[in-house]
Structure 1
């Protein structure tokens, strides 16, 4: 009889513990389901955030492109006759044309081909055919850039034509301004055209010579700053 009562007590205890475990399991399953739902919700929120971020990035890119386009248009308008074929040959505008070098707000073309070279007039015509003109050197900084970029070739007297000539006995640049620098290498000479030579000191590198003397040359055009 006692054994039967012990068995009954044990059975009741096991049944109660089993019921408790089932309740705990059910609670865990409910919590797991809740966590799963919360995870799915967070994933959806994350995806929404990613989509919103992508939309914002695209909008920012459009704004940047629009701002860049406005700057390009403003820069183009500043030219009396904008040479689109020179600056935007493939529909994409650049600050300087291909093979030109930018310095400050100008682009420079250094003609470095071999002979036959060009007279001053021929050089200017070639520059003008590229919607530019022979270089106008208006500061020591520009002189330094030009002098450091040209190359020595043939002999000490060969150089690069610059846009400086004597007009009414006054040394005048092709833009009509009078020269105020006077970086002459041979100031005693009386010829009417000027070139810059490489094998000379910085402030004594302009060489007076005749138009018929053939040299390389330098063109200059305003850079497309945007």
Structure 2
């Protein structure tokens, strides 16, 4: 009987030890799970905080981008205003006595060009179509200089097309003096501002250049004798006002 009791007691002890081991293992596993769950919750909280911070940064970036675009637009506007003022000052300083009444009315409304002048891009043009007698190339330039202007310099196709306001008069051989001549050196065609221009052989036949109305743009220049009398065009700077 005692041996049987001892065996049963031994088995009970073994079972208790096993139960203790299993219980300890389960406790450690549960502790580990609790720790992992806590760590996972921390990661979830961190992810939520990072997401919130990311939204804040995106909002700040959008605000900064908007501010930068606004500042860039303001800088461009200030730059345009500065260039406009410098342009107008250079124009006004050409005059000993600026003719305000020719540009501005009594209610302080000012135009870019004088009355009777045509605005094109940044220049004003006066197309003189007086009755005869007209003027030679030199006389025409002198007239323009009295108006603080000069015979026109045509530097682009658009500007040439812009001179289509000219009208045919007297006959098809008469035109309008422009500021191109080779009087200084034969064959070296220069504008009145000193820039160079090429002419084809078909356009040459004298030392001063006319633009002929009704001819195709860029094909309506012809060089003739400078002492022939024609109408003429004057060109001056335009006053540039704010947008």
How far apart are residue 103 of structure 1 and its match? 0.2
Alpha carbons 1:106, 1:223 under 8 Å: kept = yes
Q: Higher mean Cα deviation, 194-203 or 71-80? A: 71-80
Moved over 4 A (4+): 69-75, 89-92
2: CA distance between counterparts of 1:150 and 1:185? 24
Is 1:174 matched up with 2:174? no
Distance 1:71 1:173 in 2: 25
Report how far residue 140 of structure 1 moved.
Answer: 0.4
Deviation at 1:78, TM superposition (A): 2.7
Which residue, 144, 150, 166 being the options, matches 2:161?
A: 144
Q: Which residue of 1 aligns with 2:99?
A: 85
Q: How much does 1:145 deviate?
A: 0.8
Match 2:139 to one of 122, 133, 136: 122
Would the aligned equivalents of 1:105 and 1:223 in 2 still touch at CA under 8 Å? yes
Question: Could you tell me how far apart the structure 2 residues matched to 1:211 and 1:157 are?
Answer: 14
Q: Within 2, Cα distance between the matches of 1:88 and 1:203?
A: 32
Q: How many residues get paired?
A: 154
Gaps of 5+ in 2: 1-80
Matched, 1:95 2:115: no
1:154 aligns with 2:170: yes
Q: How does 1:49-68 map to 2 (within 5 A)?
A: none
2:180 corresponds, among 157, 164, 185, to 164
Is the contact between residue 205 and residue 222 of structure 2 (CA under 8 Å) also seen in structure 1? no
Aligned-residue Cα RMSD (Å) equals 2.5
Larger Rg: 2
| Structure-2 separation of matches of 1:76 and 1:201 | 34
The 3-state SS of whatever aligns with 1:76 is helix
Unaligned 5+ runs, structure 1? 1-68
- Where 1:142 maps in the other structure, the secondary structure is helix
Contact 1:186-1:208 at 8 Å conserved across structures? no
Q: Which residue of 2 aligns with 1:206?
A: 221
1:193 corresponding residue in structure 2: 208
CA distance in 2, matches of 1:209, 1:71: 39
Whether the 8 Å CA contact 1:165–1:192 is kept in 2: the answer is yes
Once the two structures are TM-superposed, the CA of residue 90 in structure 1 deviates from its matched residue by 5.5
State the partner residue of 2:43: none
- State the shift of 1:129 in Å: 0.2
Partner of 1:76: 88
- Residue 113 of structure 1 corresponds to 130
